Amino acid sequence: MHPSHVRSNAVFLEVVKRLSATDEVCLDCEFHGEGRYYPKLCLVQLAFGTERLAIDPQQVNLGLLAGVLESETIVKVLHDGRQDLPLLARAAGTASLRNVFDTQVAAAFAGYGGSIGYGALVSDVCRVELDKSLQVSDWTRELSDEQIDYALDDVRYLSEVAAALRTKLAASGRMAWVLDACLDAATRALTKPDPEKLYRKVGSSSRLNGEQLGILREIAKWRERVAAALDRPAPTVANDLALKSLALQPPKDLRALEGVRGLGAGRGQPWARELLEAVALGAAKPEPVPPSQRDQETLIEGLTSVLGLARRYVAIREGIATELLASQAELRALSEWQLGGRAGDSSVGVMSGWRRPVIGDLLLEVLAGDVGFHVDLGAPGGTKMVRG
């Protein structure tokens, strides 16, 4: 067995004790997601001090790691933790991971773009070319020494990369922005989607009426519950075509479900009866629809595009990746708020923390009509901001 492969709770407990005395740990995960609702965690790689360890989550209790993950004093360094953070939190039985430093997020503030890969970052910072020959390796079987060595490379250089980025960001005065952005990214990764809004992800639903949208809302929630219970991908329970068909032609009994295309695992009992209950509930609780829904959607898309232009302008000016300044969902939420008469709270994420002075206030000026943009081939990005 590989000397760095930890497969017993006794050994892991000693590892956690040493970890608790450090101020930084680098983390990465290998997992298998095909055919599952919850990806199967196959390996957890740790690097701290001079140690590089591969933890077998099938053999050890990762709950022992919860205190380290929740610690405010121990920095958790990851690269693009969107998938790893939920896996670690679920495996360790914790609701939060604190003090996370995401090197992909940090790199976006240091001129590397919004989605640079770990290998490219290691190559640029450490002058090391990582071996990617096992990138599509099967991590669900007994692991070879070669696989362990390959996996450990994913944390071997993380601390050096993080240190180099911190130095660069400190010089630019953007470290506080990065820490806020890392917190935002970790929070988003660990926040489950709002069940009441799942139906909005189903394509071509803007033409449905209130009752049909109510049905779509409830059966989208039903699909997610069943997928989680069966540990199956949501589309294998019922694909989007099936959901739209059910909303347009609500079934009254089990027999009516037989002809629905794309209804897979959801045909089984008791899921089918629960589906009929969801349909009935949705029909009884229609989703409010503006009278001119189609025109409203066109206006929202248009205004969101204008805000996207402002976002691109700031991204070029500040040298920050657009997706870190404001997500498309945030721009849309602001557009909806504006077209709704500015009723309620406009405090989407872009209106707080470091983003408020960098881009949030500008977006509000655009919405108020105080700022516009002209084509200027001599300006950076070909766009010039004009006030008044």
HSE-up of residue 188 (Cα within 13 Å, Cβ side): 18
In degrees to the nearest 10, what's the CA dihedral of 252, 253, 258, 260? 20
HSE-up of residue 156 (Cα within 13 Å, Cβ side): 16
Confidence bin at 237 (pLDDT 50/70/90): very high
Confidence bin at 297 (pLDDT 50/70/90): confident
- Better pLDDT: 63 or 328: 63
Q: Taking 60 as the threshold, does the pLDDT of residue 292 lie above it? A: no
Q: Is 204 left (phi over 0), alpha (psi -120 to 50) or beta?
A: left
Confidence bin at 56 (pLDDT 50/70/90): very high
| Distance (Å, whole) CA 38 – CA 59 | 19
Q: Taking 60 as the threshold, does the pLDDT of residue 180 lie above it? A: yes
Q: What structural domains and CATH numbers belong to the chain?
A: 5-190 (3.30.420.10), 195-284 (1.10.150.80), 293-387 (1.10.150.80)
Across 197-206, 287-296, 368-377, least confident range: 287-296
Residue percentage of the chain with pLDDT more than 70: 95
Confidence bin at 345 (pLDDT 50/70/90): low
pTM above 0.85, yes or no: no
State the residue for tokens 């300044």.
Answer: 325
Query: pLDDT (tens digit, 9 = 90+) per residue, 192-211?
Result: 889 999 998 898 777 788 99
| pLDDT at site 279 | 96
Across 99-103, 104-108, 114-118, least confident range: 114-118
| pLDDT at site 165 | 96
Q: Taking 80 as the threshold, does the pLDDT of residue 164 lie above it? A: yes
- Better pLDDT: 344 or 53: 53
Report the pLDDT averaged over residues 242-260: 93
Pinpoint the alpha helices (H) of 65-209.
66-70, 84-92, 103-108, 118-126, 145-156, 158-172, 175-190
Confidence bin at 158 (pLDDT 50/70/90): very high
Report the pLDDT averaged over residues 305-330: 87
| pLDDT at site 317 | 87
Report the pLDDT averaged over residues 272-301: 83
| pLDDT at site 377 | 76
| pLDDT at site 161 | 97
Residue percentage of the chain with pLDDT more than 90: 59
Highest mean pLDDT among 42-51, 317-326, 335-344 belongs to 42-51
Confidence bin at 227 (pLDDT 50/70/90): very high
